[in-house]
Amino acid sequence: MTLTSAKTAVIGLFLLAASLPATAQPPVVVTTLVNFSDLDGGPQDLDGVENGVFTANGLTVRNVGAIIIDVAQAGFNINGDLVMQNSGAIRTPSIPTMDPGPALEFFITGSLNMKNDALIRSHGVAFGGSIHATIFGHLVMRDRARIEANSTAEGGTGGEIEMTVFWEIVMWHTTTRIMACGMNGGSVKIISTMAATCPAIAVRGMLKAVGFDGEGGLVEIAAFNGGVGILDDGVPRIAAIGTESAGAVKIFAFKDVTPDQPFTQPPAMVTELGNPCGH
């Protein structure tokens, strides 16, 4: 994605967000196990239609509550924040049966805040599922928060994760994870389109697209208007390796990448444009 195309997409998404209907219904709070198919078109669904998309003025999933993904495609249209905490989850069943795993789509006009073992998961058998999110605010992950799209079968391939965030992406703690793994690695992409901070993307947890017994996957990080900061503690925070062939790590930053040569597996291909932070 070029800077021009990214900015064009941002303008289009702003216009779409402005057209969303506003209602007085409060945010939905989930504290028990509920199937997505029961939420879709139910009394808490603002669009009132069983159409594969759950619409709400904010959504909180907490205290071991979980939305179980029991359909092949599930959309979440959240006018406000998506808050997940205290083992709250949006996930496939503990033993996945779908192949590939389900496709999850998130459109969030606020921020996605995850902490205390919060989980978004789309596992599949031979092929991991997909998790795509467009977030107008921030993505903040703390305290063992995880986003996963893995394959569980021998010879399987990890899924696809793409998080497009207008402002900052912060993986605060070393225990946070974004993973698309399997016998062959999948792909993980995180993008900040608007934040001009250094870093606009802060990685203290782990980004993984690892092939445990096959080919490595792909990890991409792109800060179109700011910098990228990766914790430099001797641990490969970003990995796309495989046992048969290495995958790829690509980092793009409009401003600085810190450290200049981050420790990744395999080594990162870093592209920087001018305008470094502090200059």
On the question of pLDDT at 2 being above 80, the answer is no
pLDDT for 272: 72
Name, in order, each residue with C-beta under 8 angstroms of 128's C-beta and a sequence gap of 6 or more. Answer: 100, 101, 122, 149, 150, 151, 156, 157, 158, 159, 160, 180, 181, 182, 186
Give the confidence band of 24 by pLDDT, cuts at 50, 70, 90.
Answer: low
For residue 95, the 8-state DSSP code is S
Q: List the chain domain ranges.
A: 60-272
d(CA 257, CA 273): 10
Helix %, strand %, coil % for the chain, to 5? 5, 40, 50
pLDDT in tens, 32-49: 999 999 999 999 999 999
pLDDT in tens, 223-240: 999 999 999 999 999 999
pLDDT for 15: 42
Look up residue 64 and give its amino acid: V
pTM, whole model, 2 decimals?
Answer: 0.91
pLDDT in tens, 173-203: 999 999 999 999 999 999 999 999 999 999 9
**Percent over 70 (pLDDT), the chain:** 89
Strand 82-85 vs strand 112-114: parallel, antiparallel, or unpaired? parallel
Tell me what the mean pLDDT of segment 157-161 comes to: 97
Q: What angle do CA 187, 192, 196 make, to 5 degrees?
A: 150
HEC sequence for 195-258: CCCCCCEEECCEEECCECCCECCEEEEEECCCCEEECCCCCCCEECCECCECCEEEEEECCCEE
pLDDT for 121: 98
